[in-house]
Amino acid sequence: MTTPAGSTAPAVGVTSAAPAAPRRSRRGRASTDASPGPRESAVSRAAAMLVMGVFTLYFLTPIWWLLVSSSKSRGDLTSTAPLWFSDVQLGENLAAVWSYQGGALPQWLLNSLVYAGGGALLATLLAGMCGYALAKYRFPGREVLFNVVLGGVLVPATALALPLFLIFSRFDGTNTFWSVFLPSIVSPFGVYLTRIFAAASVPEELLEAARLDGSGEVRTFFTVSVRLMFPALVTVFLFQFVAIWNNFFLPLIMLRDSDLFPVTLGLYNWNSVVNQLPELRLYVLVGALVSIVPLICVFLLLQRFWRNGLGTGAIK
């Protein structure tokens, strides 16, 4: 009787101890999963916030100064604190600069919108098509062509201004709308960016499925690939729009007719005669303030797509 009882006792002990091991293992795993990773120290977080605050202040201070200066009268412009308001006359200044020289500033703004908007749109379309072709089609010389595009990214736009002027002069194309617009639709950086993005975001299986369904290459590009490449296309559009809007040297050497001037060149001409016409100093400031409004609007309208594209690229 004693022996079976003694033999039963270890069995009971084993039976009761068997479930305990997994529980300890589960607790061990839970404690491992719940253990916090390396946390950012308060000092590094504060240092990062300080650096970002300094850079933010650095970039926003000129805009703040421009806004404050544009709201002052001519007398207050030089006699009051440069970074704070005095007698606010922004509305009167806007009305005055808007009607000066028969409405020259609105004409220049419209020219800049046409140059930048139309040029950026066509540049984005051409860059997207070229980048897609370089990423998805196999043909002789593809890598050589892509290396040439990379070389174009490294060439500054000012280095191309004089050759472009000589080319347009040969065909009597200077002092025309096309002399500024046509060079603006070429974007080597856009080709490079869309090529990289198309290779990563457009699956070959999806293209094959579209071809099997009877879709042609052009239709496949516009109905399938463009949707997948849309964040990259928005990025190209933003970069190209800003680059064309701020373009100064090419219009300077190409244009003589003030009716064709973009806003950058028009304000430069006003600023060049400030010593002879002191009232133009205030007009230049107000015009510069007005000229940055379209850039802010375009960025605010498209930033959602841009941020989505950056997030998608980070996940990929």
Domain match, 152 and 262 both = yes
Domain match, 98 and 216 both = yes
Domain match, 72 and 158 both = no
DSSP secondary-structure letter at 140? T
For residue 38, what pLDDT band results from cuts at 50, 70 and 90? low
Domain match, 61 and 179 both = no
Q: Round to whole Å and give the CA distance between 9 and 18.
A: 14
Q: Round to whole Å and give the CA distance between 254 and 173.
A: 9
Q: Round to whole Å and give the CA distance between 4 and 207.
A: 75
Encode pLDDT of 132-159 as tens digits.
Answer: 999 999 989 899 999 998 888 888 888 8
Of 259, 289, 215, nearest to 64 by C-alpha is 289
Domain match, 111 and 211 both = yes
User: Does residue 309 surpass a pLDDT of 60?
Assistant: no
Single-letter residue type at 161: A
Domain match, 167 and 303 both = yes
Residue 206 is assigned to a structural domain of this protein = yes
Q: What are phi and psi of 218, to 5 degrees?
A: -65, -45
Positive or negative: CA dihedral 162, 164, 165, 171: positive
Q: Round to whole Å and give the CA distance between 315 and 55.
A: 27
Domain match, 105 and 240 both = yes
Residue 26 is assigned to a structural domain of this protein = no
Residue 4 is assigned to a structural domain of this protein = no
Q: Which residues constitute the domain of residue 73?
A: 44-88
Total-model pTM? 0.81
Encode pLDDT of 111-127 as tens digits.
Answer: 999 999 999 999 999 99
Burial (0-12, 13-18, 19+ Cβ within 10 Å), 9: exposed
Domain match, 49 and 166 both = no
Q: Round to whole Å and give the CA distance between 84 and 61.
A: 11
Domain match, 63 and 205 both = no
